[in-house]
Amino acid sequence: MNIGQAAKATGLPPKTIRYYEDIDLVRPGRDANGYRAFCEADLHKLRFLGRTRALGFSVADCRALLALYEDDSRASAEVKAIAAKHLDAIAAKIADLKAMESTLSHLVATCAGDGRPDCPILEDLGG
């Protein structure tokens, strides 16, 4: 199976798949003509990576999770630790964004948004 087919099968762009090979996340074989040859196990890994990335894990975390996934003697505590830490990071980001949203929505609400120069948004930003 070519990279194009693998891309369709996994939902990842070909460029991304090449990149994942480049950083050794996946190691497809090669056909005689030099084309990458993806087997089912490769596709499975790629889908795994797609899901972990979609959950916002860093590539480093994805690598660690993949290694744990393939290690039958893993301790689930290791997995949970990575996930819990990421969950904290997500919560922190949400809090940051909510603070920005709160500030900004107040400002936007009070700005007339017409042709005049008076602007509470800029007044606030200017200090």
Contact partner at residue 90 from a copy of itself, DNA, none, CB < 5 to 8 Å by partner kind? a copy of itself
Residue whose CB is less far from a copy of itself, 31 or 71: 71
Pick the stretch among 1-9, 11-19, 29-37, 115-123 that binds a copy of itself (CB under 8 A). Answer: 115-123
Query: Three-state DSSP class for 11?
Result: coil
**Whole-number minimum distance, CB 35 to a copy of itself, in Å?**
26
**Whole-number minimum distance, CB 70 to DNA, in Å?**
19
Please enumerate in sequence order all residues whose Cβ is within 8 A of that of 73, keeping only pairs 6 or more positions apart, or say none.
none
Binding characters for DNA, 23-42, by CB under 7 A (x = yes): ---------xxxxx------
Q: Rule CB under 7 A: is residue 55 a binding residue for DNA?
A: no
Q: How crowded is residue 46: how many other Cβ atoms within 10 Å of its Cβ?
A: 24
- Are the CB atoms for 108 and 121 separated by under 8 Å? yes
Of 71, 65, 39, nearest to 52 by C-alpha is: 65
